[in-house]
């Protein structure tokens, strides 16, 4: 699970935070190998010994993603991973999520950033006050002018 608010442990380094997801691997060499893989995946190899307060918001979100992915779960839950991030940082987080998709990780992404959701999703659900008002592919959603203008503020 990746929460919309920062949940990294401030007294632990990037590597230590990610390693929490690897605690079930008994072999030290394998655990170290997996940690390096995660650091490369999120492109933060050079920041392994940094603490969360030394990172940007986007870097912290990428550490959160790596820690969740390190747990080797079947499904990754992402609760608004772009919340409060600058546009350029959102792009970096989106790229990391794209990389995760290439790793064949199933994800459930809850996201108010419509463009991010449309770029990343295979399937989209638009929910208004608890009611599903659209279900389909990103292409179908883009084609549905009523839904995109009414609920997403995109299109025209």
CATH number at 104 reads 3.40.50.300
Predicted pLDDT at 70: 81
Please enumerate in sequence order all residues whose Cβ is within 8 A of that of 119, keeping only pairs 6 or more positions apart, or say none: 94, 138
Predicted pLDDT at 29: 94
Query: What is the pTM for the complete model shown?
Result: 0.71
Max Cα-Cα span within the chain = 56
Predicted pLDDT at 156: 45
Predicted pLDDT at 117: 82
60 falls within a domain: yes
Is there a single domain that holds both residue 68 and residue 31? yes
Predicted pLDDT at 104: 65
Is there a single domain that holds both residue 66 and residue 134? no
What is the tally of structural domains in the chain? 2
Is there a single domain that holds both residue 106 and residue 132? no
Predicted pLDDT at 147: 77
9 falls within a domain: no
Task: Write the secondary structure of the chain as one string of H (helix), E (strand) and C (coil).
Answer: CECCCCCCCCCCCHHHHHHHHHCCCCCHHHHHHHHHHHHHHCCCHHHCCCCHHHCCHHHHHHHHHHHHHHCCCCEEEEECCCCCCCHHHHHHHHHHHHHHHHCCCEEEEECCCHHHHHHHCCCEEEEECCEEEEEECHHHHHHCHHHHHHHHCCCC
Q: 110: how many CB neighbours lie within 10 A of its CB?
A: 13
Those residues of the chain that have pLDDT short of 50 are 156
2 falls within a domain: no
30 falls within a domain: yes
Is there a single domain that holds both residue 68 and residue 109? yes
Predicted pLDDT at 53: 96
Is there a single domain that holds both residue 99 and residue 133? no
Predicted pLDDT at 10: 96
**Domain extent for 155:** 122-156
The β-bridge partners of 136 are 124
Predicted pLDDT at 19: 94
Instruction: Give the span between the Cα atoms of 131 and 145, in whole angstroms.
Output: 19
């Amino acid at each position: 699970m990746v929460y919309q608010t920062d949940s990294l442990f401030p007294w632990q380094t990037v590597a230590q935070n990610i390693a929490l997801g690897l605690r079930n691997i008994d072999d030290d060499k394998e655990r170290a190998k997996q940690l390096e893989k995660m650091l490369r995946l999120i492109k933060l190899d050079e920041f392994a010994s940094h603490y969360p307060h030394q990172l940007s918001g986007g870097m912290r979100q990428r550490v959160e993603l790596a820690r969740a992915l390190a747990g080797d779960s079947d499904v990754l839950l992402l609760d608004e991973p772009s919340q409060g991030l600058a546009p350029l940082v959102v792009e970096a987080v989106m790229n990391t999520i794209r990389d995760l998709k290439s790793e064949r990780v199933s994800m459930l992404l809850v996201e108010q950033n419509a463009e991010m959701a449309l770029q990343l999703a295979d399937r989209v659900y638009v929910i208004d006050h608890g009611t599903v008002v659209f279900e389909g592919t990103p292409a179908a959603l883009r084609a549905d002018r009523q839904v995109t203008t009414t609920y997403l503020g995109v299109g025209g």
